[in-house]
Structure formats: structure tokens, C-alpha cells
Amino acid sequence: MILEETLIFHSEEDASVFLEYLKERGVRAKKSNRGYSTAETVITCSLDGYISWLSAVAGDYAASQGDGSPLPYPCSETDLRVFEQQLDLLQRTLVKLEELLMNKTIGDVVYTKDQVQKAIMALLSRPQGDAEALFFDPGEYDVWIPIDIIFRENHVVVDSPDGYRLDMTVDPGSLLYTSSFNPDSPELRKRTEAYNPTFRKEYYVSSECTVNTDPALYLCDEMHAIPDIISSLSVDDASRDTFLENYYLKRQILAMIMTIVAHNESVSLIDLSREIACFSIPADDGSEGCTIHLDPSIAKILVDELIAAKLLSGTNRLLKFGKAMRKKG
């Protein structure tokens, strides 16, 4: 249905708040839960292998820039910067792992939870988008997150009241590292084969709450409050943007239809289609004006939906306000 909108909420409680707001204003709305899934491909490789692969890609790119030869796989400057950042992180991580494991024997404390928490807090509090951020050195902190994950996923340490104790001796470079950072193109993925990676698809299945509305939505908001209400609730960003774009446009179209019907008391579908085929809305309070062009077939669909919602009644020859609109009046 053209005049039915759907909003996706992250919180069922917030969906109920919006539902109640609409029902108080005579809008029929329905709340439902549905499942959705997301997927990503993760790559697992030894630290040495991962570093060698990223170094090889950087070397390939440098060589192609030097002699002008094309790369055998797609890799833009932006891609290269991401590769180099990941390479730098893993190289520093490996150095720190070697430092932590140096001269350690089974049972020794390798690191503590406080060290990891301190690093996380430092990263969360680092400057964002200002001059101070230019002088922030992540090298002291950002390696701790992959270190903690690598140690625990490889079962190198065991938890104890004093910290994480060494449970097995291991070559740091042989430790497996898993990341969602992986090559998209088949050619670039082939470049990893020499380093014995494994690829795995991971699926995440979750639920979301949706609210579906009927055409009365566009006529219930005389104070223009709905956009502000939606902004105050936990609504999916993409869903909110689509909803508001549709809401503003369709609200103008329905307002024009109802104005024409009210002005004429009744109107035929042909005359209505002619009047709304192209109409302009002037700029107001700094906002842009717009012109809306409607195909005649759309007018018929809109009228049918408005009749079903009891906002209009009658036939194609004689359209007038329906029961729901007369109640509003």
C-alpha cells in the first residue's frame, strides 16, 4: 500500500509509546515483531601470516606505483590506507605479545584485567575531531584489545584473582587472529592463500519491532509533532529517514486531496487527478519549496486506499469525505 508506512524500533517499549500516540489520534496502527539476520565473513590466520599478507599487498601496491604496472586485484588508495592501518596495529600487537611472554613460565601472570580496562577507557576518552586528536598516540592502548582477544581465544592464559596466568608456552607469531577485516574480491582473497587462512561466514539473527500505520497518519498531526516524537525514540536510522521522507511528501499530497474535496464538497476522480497531477508548495520559513508530479494511475490508487480507510467515500464519479474525516471535522 502506498499510504502505509513502517517504522522499525530497537525497543518494543518505544514502539508501544508511538503506537499509543497514534491510537489517541485516531490512527489505526499495528505493532509486530519480526526476525532479521546479518552476515559477515571472518578470516582466521596466524599473526605472522596475517602480517605477511598485509605486507605483501602493501608491497604490490608500491611496486605498481613505481613501474606503472596494474595490480592483479582491485585496491584503491583508500583500501591501501585501511590495509596499512591494520598492518601497523598487528605489528605493534605482535611486538607487545613478545614483550609480555618474554621469560614467562607456566603459571606466571602475563597481564591483568586492570591493564585492559585502562586501555579501553583511554581509547573511549581520546579526543574526537579536534586538534588534540592529532597528538593522541594509540600505540600505548589500542593493542590491548586484540591482545586480550588473542590470548583468550587461543587458550594461552587462564583467569585468576591476580590476573591472567600463562597456561601454555607458544610462539606469539603462531597465535591465531580472527577478524572481519578480509578481502572482498576473489583476486585479493587468492593473494592470501600462501598464508593458510580460513574463511567463515557468521550469521547474527535478531528481532526487531515494527509499527505499521494507515493513511490517517498524514492527517493527525496538526502540530507537526511526529518528527520530534520519532527522533526521541529508539528508531532504526535508515527506517526513520525513509519514514520521514515519505511522511513529508505524502502529507502534502493528502492535504492537497482533502483541500480539493473540501472546496468542492464532492469531486470526480478525473477532476481530482487533473488537479493533483502537478502542484507546487512554496518555500516557507527558510525551507525549500517543491513541485509534486503525480501519475494519473497513482491518483486512483490513493483514492482507493483513502476510501478503504474511510477518509473518503463515494464512487469515482462522486468523491466526498468519508466517515473518519467527518468525525475529525
Mean pLDDT for back-to-back runs of 10 residues, the chain (329 residues): 93 95 92 90 94 89 79 76 89 96 96 92 70 49 92 96 96 94 76 89 91 92 87 94 93 91 89 90 77 89 93 91 77
Q: How far apart are CA 66 and CA 64, in angstroms?
A: 5
Q: What is the pLDDT of residue 328?
A: 64
Q: How far is CA 187 from CA 48, 56, 57, 184, in A?
A: 21, 14, 12, 9
Q: What is the pLDDT of residue 135?
A: 43
Q: How far apart are CA 81 and CA 176, in angstroms?
A: 23
Q: What is the pLDDT of residue 79?
A: 78
User: Residue 277 is which amino acid?
Assistant: A
Q: What is the pLDDT of residue 127?
A: 61
Q: What is the pLDDT of residue 132?
A: 44
Q: How far apart are CA 43 and CA 39, in angstroms?
A: 13
Q: What is the pLDDT of residue 182?
A: 67
pTM attached to this predicted model = 0.62
Q: What is the pLDDT of residue 188?
A: 78
Return the SS3 of 39. Answer: strand
Return the SS3 of 203. Answer: strand
For 217, other C-beta atoms within 10 Å of its C-beta total 26
Q: What is the pLDDT of residue 137?
A: 55
Do 308 and 322 form a contact (C-beta atoms < 8 A)? no
